[in-house]
Amino acid sequence: MENSPKKRPLDGIRVLEIASMVFGPLAGQYLGDMGADVIKLEPPEGDLTRSIGPRRSPRMGAFFLTSNRSKRSIVVDLKRPEGRKILHRLLAKTDVLLHSMRTPAAARLGLDYETLAKTHPSLVYCHVTGYGDEGEYGGRPAYDDIIQAASGLAMLQQVVAGQPRYIPTIVADKISGLHAAYAIVLAVMHRMRTGEGQQVDVPMFETMAAFNMIEHQWGHIFEPPVGNMGYAPVVAAARRPYRTLDGYLSLLPYSDAHWRRFFELAGEPQIMDDPRFTLFASRQVHFREVWDEIERQIGRKTNAEWLRLLTPEDIPFSPVNSIEDLRDDPHLKSVDFWSVREHPTEGSLLIPRNPLRMSASPPDITRLPPGLGEHSAEILRECEFDDESAHLMLAVGGVCAPAP
């Protein structure tokens, strides 16, 4: 598993990750799947997510396992002078520093970009934050819930919940993690062309504000505005999963041909004679009545009946799955989405594949999630510490020893 048969895009690139929770670690996981040698530097107590979720052994919680594969782990107590010596030996062999520390803490360790750029001018330095250091909110702490609230995402949920609610997934962390990964790759490309490193800042608030504006800026794309913000079919909750006789179905006919065929399948083709339904433009104006009619039609049949009718057609649809359904989803099985891997300490793990398809340099799960400090000894050797020094650092109470 650690030796992919094909080259991967980031083979030969070393990433030093000093990040906890999900935002930074998920970005590091994406880079590791792409071939980067990701070294996760953890404090003696480990990433906080090691203690979250079901586990078979201490410090290997489910929350940690899902966002920390394709990495090596070294424990370093950065509060101690010996720890900072290890840090700077690592930086001398690093292409990318990815960290989530707040700026004052990073500066105390000499990890601010201005300091590092003097001795490591080719370093790609990626700082992932809730809020950036500049601006009115500069330096504020934030997690996923806070950014969902700040970016308007929580308020959008009131159309279905009757009050602001968080989306039940850590969507801000995950979307921001994707942005961080592609920003790092772009900066690495720049360095390969010019030899020049740079600072990369990925603030969650601006990331999610821009993400939400893609459809919801609406009339405010113009200055002055020519309408309200909010994509009408979404903010009015007209489009939604619809109840069938025994479950729920998601349906999205889009073209005129889709709509005509759907009502033929429903047994009421005459509905398309109604001018509100006939053309795309009229359906946009009368979207509430149109989608209410969809709801009425969907409710007349079972999921199995709709599945039989819609599967041969070109109309976008899906049964509404639970997350548990995904484990046995026929399509995911057919593309080998799930695989069972044997972890040396955690036993059998069910792992989703990286979803990207690249014919010449495909991503791969290069390593299963590391135990706390599992690779400390080998990384110290790579940093050219002699055996005696490494032994002292790894011993109980040493700067590379996990907390009891």
In contact, 4 and 37? CB cutoff 8 Å? no
- Of 47, 95, 173, 364, the active-site residue reads 173
18 SS3 class: strand
173 is catalytic: yes
Closest CA to 301 of 289, 292, 310: 310
257 SS3 class: helix
In contact, 259 and 282? CB cutoff 8 Å? no
Task: Provide the token pair at 66.
Answer: 């899902």
Task: Provide the token pair at 302.
Answer: 């079972």
What does DSSP say about strands 347-352 and 338-343: parallel, antiparallel, or unpaired?
antiparallel
Alpha helices by DSSP H, listed for 279-374, are 280-285, 287-298, 303-310, 330-334
In contact, 105 and 26? CB cutoff 8 Å? no
83 vs 383: CA distance, rounded Å: 13
- Give burial (CB, 10 Å; 0-12/13-18/19+) of 12: exposed
197 vs 194: CA distance, rounded Å: 9
**Phi–psi pair at 71, nearest 5 degrees:** -140, 160
Alpha helices by DSSP H, listed for 157-286, are 158-161, 171-194, 204-216, 232-235, 256-266, 275-278, 280-285
DSSP state for residue 318 in the 8-state scheme? E
Q: Can you point out the beta strands (E) in 307-346?
A: 317-319, 338-343
Residue 223 CB neighbours (<10 A)? 6
Q: Is the peptide bond before 233 cis (omega within 30 degrees of 0)?
A: no
3-state secondary structure 167-202: CCCCHHHHHHHHHHHHHHHHHHHHHHHHCCCEEEEE
Overall residue count recorded for the chain in this entry = 404
Residues annotated catalytic, as ranges: 173
